[in-house]
Chain A
Amino acid sequence: KNEVEQSPQNLTAQEGEFITINCSYSVGISALHWLQQHPGGGIVSLFMLSSGKKKHGRLIATINIQEKHSSLHITASHPRDSAVYICAVSNTDKLIFGTGTRLQVFP
């Protein structure tokens, strides 16, 4: 069993829909990261959080430390949100990655 599990693996949505991507982990962590990988391969860090909730534009990330679970929400989704979203956890200098959720948003 992977230490970081994401669901769903693939997700399609119509423009404007509310999107939720889930991440569960089984190890002790100091922080959880959400990353976005665009079709060209480049990876951008979206959030790093260790408790509660963070919001940036239409993106919201939450974490429940007791349940070892995090969610990434996208409000009013847009085709440009199409990407692979990766959850990762850290407890040292290293990250442990989930396998990613491929999101496609259609107009």
Chain B
Amino acid sequence: SQTIHQWPATLVQPVGSPLSLECTVEGTSNPNLYWYRQAAGRGLQLLFYSVGIGQISSEVPQNLSASRPQDRQFILSSKKLLLSDSGFYLCAWSVRPINIQYFGAGTRLSVL
């Protein structure tokens, strides 16, 4: 069966520090992968999605970046965090053509 792992669950980082959040999927091949952010009291915002290794689409201009070094690994990074980067980050995967998205447990990031 397919599973998605996302870590860490919570993270407190100072402004200006780097960020690396990792997401891995097991039990499926060539999934679409997604990074979302949910600010407090807001809806889900798509940050990045990937349809294959090395293929990243950015939805929102920001100081975050994403990489997909392996088929089932998706990494969200930042060189210097801003206060506005605080939020709940979710990774998800789906497989065409069904397109149901399966979400990781999320990472709650607080930038202080």
Tell me the A residues contacting B by CB distance below 8 Å. 30-31, 33, 40-45, 48, 86, 88, 90, 93-95, 97-100
Contact call A45/B44, Cβ cutoff below 8 A:
no
Q: Which A residues lie within 8 Å of B108 (CB)? A: 41
Given contacts A43-B90, A86-B43, contact A93 B32 (CB under 8 A): yes
Q: Which A residues lie within 8 Å of B46 (CB)? A: 94-95
Contact call A94/B100, Cβ cutoff below 8 A:
no
Interface size on B, residues (CB 8 A): 24
Contact call A93/B43, Cβ cutoff below 8 A:
no
A-B pairs with CB below 8 Å: how many? 49
Checking A40, A41, A95, A99 against B101 with a beta-carbon cut-off of 8 angstroms, the contacting residue is: A95
Contact call B88/A93, Cβ cutoff below 8 A:
no
A-B contact pairs, 6 of them (CB 8 A): A41-B38, A41-B106, A43-B90, A45-B103, A93-B96, A93-B99
**Chain B interface, >50% SS class:** strand
Given contacts A30-B99, A93-B32, 10 further A-B contacts (CB under 8 A): A43-B103, A45-B101, A48-B98, A48-B99, A93-B51, A94-B59, A95-B44, A95-B101, A97-B44, A99-B42
The chain B residue sitting closest to A92, CB to CB, is: B99
Q: How far is the CB of A31 from chain B (nearest CB, A)?
A: 6
Given contacts A86-B44, A99-B43, contact A94 B88 (CB under 8 A): no
Checking A48, A86, A99 against B100 with a beta-carbon cut-off of 8 angstroms, the contacting residue is: A48
Q: How far is the CA of A98 from the CA of B45 in the complex (A)?
A: 10
Q: How far is the CB of B28 from chain A (nearest CB, A)?
A: 15
Contact call B96/A42, Cβ cutoff below 8 A:
no
